[in-house]
Amino acid sequence: MTRVLIVGNGRMGTIIRELVEADESCELAGIVGIETMGTLAEEAPEADVVIDFSHKDMLPHVEAYVQCTNAALVSGTTGYDEDEMARVRALGGHAPVIHSANYSLGVAVLRRLAAEAAEALDGFDIEIVETHHNQKVDAPSGTAKLLLDAVNPAGEFDPV
């Protein structure tokens, strides 16, 4: 049975908790939210995998947990700067790590199509416009940045 520790108790954390609880091959080891983040390195239960859909401020605590336990990390947290992303990648030296700004199949297909369109339409002006609910924490979103990287992989153009 795979023991799952969820970091983040917002919308995605709640959905993931429901999925873990419904999966007979998984056991919910615990949930850590922003209010209990200090317990992650010291008191968090043992887990095989950490699923992190929290806030970028949780990174030091997630880092400490993965380094201490070697639990695999699945991260969907966005808003990291380049140094923080380097720290997430470096955790791969301790345990398996996967990070994506968006795990949706539809967004993965859209990213690929956007990259192909940008290549085929060289010289065209491309604009990414996004709209969110009023509780969206990071803007531009990780998904918007993911799409920007797809249409501007060399970073030739400055986003406005």
Question: Among this protein's residues, is 55 annotated catalytic?
Answer: no
Higher pLDDT, 75 or 158: 75
Asked if 41 and 91 sit in the same domain, the reply is: yes
Active-site residue among 61, 99, 133, 136?
136
Structurally, how many domains does the chain consist of? Answer: 2
Question: Among this protein's residues, is 61 annotated catalytic?
Answer: no
One-letter identity of residue 65: Y
Active-site residue among 56, 132, 133, 145?
132
The tens digit of pLDDT for each residue in 47-106 reads 999 999 999 999 999 999 999 999 999 999 998 999 999 999 999 999 999 999 889 899
In this predicted structure, the answer to whether residue 150 has a pLDDT above a threshold of 80 is: yes
Asked if 56 and 82 sit in the same domain, the reply is: yes
Asked if 78 and 132 sit in the same domain, the reply is: no
Residue 114 CB contacts under 8 Å (≥ 6 apart), including other chains: 147, 150, 151
Domain of residue 43: give its range.
Answer: 2-99
Residue that is written with structure tokens 């996004």 in the block: 130
CA pair distance 76, 3, nearest whole angstrom: 18
**Domain assignment of residue 156, yes or no:** no
- pTM exceeding the 0.75 threshold for the entire prediction: yes
Asked if 46 and 72 sit in the same domain, the reply is: yes
The tens digit of pLDDT for each residue in 125-145 reads 888 888 877 777 777 788 888
Alpha helices in the chain (DSSP H): 11-22, 39-42, 59-69, 82-90, 105-120, 142-151
